[in-house]
Structure 1
C-alpha cells in the first residue's frame, strides 16, 4: 500500500503545528510558582531592665541611711551615758515697766518692759550656746511687746542673768481693753512671757547641731504702771528643747 503524505495548509505568519500545539498545551496548564521560603523572624535581643538598676540604687541608698541612723543613735547613746545631760531651767526674776500708755480713742497700747531672767545650767560637762532668739510678752493671748534674747555662752554648772528689753505698740479690741482695765483695778494682771531661742550644746570639744529652746512663763503681776517694778504674784516657767 502506498504511503500518502498529508499536506496541511498553512497560512503566512502562522506558527508551525508543533509550536501551535505546544502553546495551546502551555496555555491550558496552570502556572503555579512555589511561594518563596520566608525565614522565621529572629527574636529581639533581651533588653536590660532599667528598673532593676533603680531598685539597686534605692536599696543601697536605704542601706546607707539606715547605717547613718544607727551610727547617730549609737553616738547619741554613748554621749548620754557619758555626759548625763539635763535640761536647763529658766525663771523670770523681775519685770519692770518703763512705758505703758493707753490711747482710749484708738484703743492703742504703747509699752516697754525690762525682763530680768535667770538661766541655770545644771550640767557639769556640757556648755550651752544661745544664738539670739525672740521673746514676747502678751496679755490673754494678745501680744503687747517683743524683743531679742542676747547671744551668749553658758559654761558648766553656771547661772546667767540676762536682761531682755521688750517694746511694742498694739491696738486692742474693746473686750480685751475692758478686761485689761478690770484686771488692773483688781491688782491681778496675767501676763505670758515666751522665748524661742536657738541653742547649740557643747559636749567637751564637740559642738552639736542647732536646736530650739522654748521657754514659757505664766506670770501674774499687781499692775502695769509705768516706771515701776512690778510685784510678781505668781510665777510658773517651763522649758523644752526641740531637736
Structure 2
C-alpha cells in the first residue's frame, strides 16, 4: 500500500508541474499578444526632422607647404578644415498617442563622411503628441585634420560654387504610452545642407551668411 500511495503522489506532482508550466506559458503568450495588439493599434512612427536654415560664420581649408630646410625635404602641412556655423533643427512627433523622450542628442557637421566639427550636445527633451521642438546649436571645428581626398573634393566643389555639408544627429529616444516608458532606442538623423562658397579661395565663405534650407532629413530608429 505504501508503494501505491507514493506512485499516486508522483502522478499528482507531475500533473501540478504540467499545469504550472501551461499556466506560465499561457500568461506569457497573453502578455506578448497584448503588447503586439497595442503596438498595432498605436502604430508608432519615428520622429520627423527638418533642417530649416544654416548660418555660416567661417568655412575654410588650410593646406600650405612647409618651408624646406637643408636637412628636411619640402613637405605639406596636414590639411585642416575650420568651420563655425549655426543650424536650426525642427523635430516633430507625428504620433497621436505616443510621446517621445530625446536623450543625449549629439549634433555635428560632416563632409564626405568625415566629421569636421565637434559634437554639440542638445538638452534632453520630452515631446508630447504632435508636438514640435526647435534647436539652434552652434557647430565648431578648428583646424580639424582631413585626408588629401577631402582637399581634392573640396577644391572641385569650390570650383562648382558650393559644398554639401551634412548635419548629423546621434542620440537615444524612448517611447511613452500612458505611464509606460520603453527602453532606449538609437536615433540617427542625417540632414544635407548645400552651402554656396566664394570663389576667391578654397573653401572660403563670407562671415555670417544665412541660408534658408528647409530640407527634410533622413531618420533611422
TM > 0.5 fold call? yes
Match of 1:182 in 2: 156
User: Structure 1 runs of 4+ off > 6 angstroms?
Assistant: 63-69
- 1:80 equivalent in structure 2: 39
* Aligned counterpart, 2:169: 195
Contact 1:219–1:236 (Cα < 8 Å) also in 2: no
CA-CA distance at 1:154 after TM superposition: 0.9
Whether contact under 8 Å (2:49, 2:216) holds in the other structure is: no
User: Aligned pair 1:238/2:218, yes or no?
Assistant: yes
Cα distance per residue 1:157-183 (max 9 Å; x no partner): 111111122222311233322321331
**Greater CA deviation, 175-184 or 84-93?**
175-184
Give structure 2 stretches of 5+ with no counterpart.
Answer: 1-21, 65-76, 198-203
Higher relative contact order (CA 8 A, sep 6+): 2
The equivalent of 1:167 in structure 2 is 140
Where 1:131 maps in the other structure, the secondary structure is strand
Task: Evaluate the alpha carbon distance shift between residue 166 and residue 205 of structure 1 in structure 2; reply closer, same or farther with a 3 A threshold.
Answer: same
State the match for 2:107 in structure 1.
135
Post-superposition offset of 1:66:
7.4
Secondary structure at 1:181 match in 2: helix
Greater Cα shift, 181-190 or 222-231: 222-231
**Correspondence for 2:7:** none
Secondary structure at the aligned position of 2:104 is classed as: coil
Query: What's the counterpart of residue 183 of structure 2?
Result: 209
- Residues 130/71 of structure 1: CA separation in 2 closer, same or farther (3 Å cut): farther
Task: Report SS of the residue matched to 2:170.
Answer: strand
Structure 1 distance, partners of 2:85, 2:181, is 34
**Is the 2:42–2:98 contact (alpha carbons within 8 Å) kept by the matching residues of 1?**
yes
Match of residue 157 from structure 1: 130
State the Cα distance separating 1:235 from its structure 2 match.
3.5
Q: Deviations over 1:57-107 (max 9, x none)?
A: xxxxxx999779745632431322342322211111111123334333233
User: TM-score with structure 1 length normalisation?
Assistant: 0.64
RMSD between aligned residues: 2.8
- TM-score of the superposition, structure 2-length normalised? 0.69
Structure 2 partner of 1:121: 93
Q: Is the 8 A contact 1:150 1:164 kept in 2?
A: no
Matches within 5 A, 1:3-18: none
In structure 2, the CA distance between the partners of 1:70 and 1:116, relative to structure 1 (3 Å rule), is farther
1:95 has 2:95 as partner: no
Which deviates further from its counterpart, 124-133 or 178-187?
178-187
